[in-house]
Amino acid sequence: MDDTHIRLADFRSAVFFIGAGMSAESGVPTYRGRGGIWAQYDYGEYACQRAFDRDPQNVLDFHELRRQTVLGCQPHAGHHALAALQAAHPQLHVVTQNIDGLLQRAGVQVAAELHGSLWRVRCARHGVREDLAAATYATRACPDCGAPLRPDITWFEDPIDEDVFTRAGERIAQCELFVAVGTSAVVYPAASFIPLAQRHGAMMVEINPETTEASSLFMRTLRVPASAALSQHFSA
């Protein structure tokens, strides 16, 4: 095997830290940069609590369009390779910044969704519920109190979900192998998990066709798309 091949059996535990680049390969629009969602739309109209309070139906319409877009995209070879690796290596934990659910559609078990999910909604009073309907929401109002249900997503200006970030941090601090896949390493506080893994002595691997602000923290870099890297450079 060449020195770019990584065998998971050599590590007691691993964390794969997934960013938007993983989903972009399936055609899911990214958030920043050329072609990104927030280059085309004003988050203040569609992706913050103020917008939801002002016009919840407009915000929900927008997120239904996002759901429709995601449903038109399919998991790629990298998603399926990661699911197979995880099935063979139970101590492979996946932490994702993505909200699109492509990992789960490929059969990946996700330990922490840092920024929530397009496929859940929540009521401020009655909590979170799954909404796995097609593009349209199964219901836009809480069946218990009638209040509008907002997407269970960490929007601009929202606080992070402390429990989810704590769970992710515990996995990352304990892992022996840390693999960052398609993450720009500029979205904080999620990006702070990269130096956390390094400080705790993990083997650091970056999968990204481009260099990032955190590239110097990695011991190995695979400058290829996630689909190729995960299917060709890793084995159980």
Active site residue 126: no
Tokens read off for 192: 């702070």
Task: Report in angstroms the alpha-carbon separations of 65 from 97, 99, 144, 208, 235.
Answer: 20, 14, 26, 28, 37
The one catalytic residue in 63, 76, 79, 115 is: 115
Task: Report in angstroms the alpha-carbon separations of 186 from 159, 215, 219.
Answer: 17, 12, 19
- For every residue of 177-216, DSSP letters joined together read EEEEES--S-STTGGGHHHHHHHTT-EEEEE-SS--TTGG
- The catalytic residue positions are 115
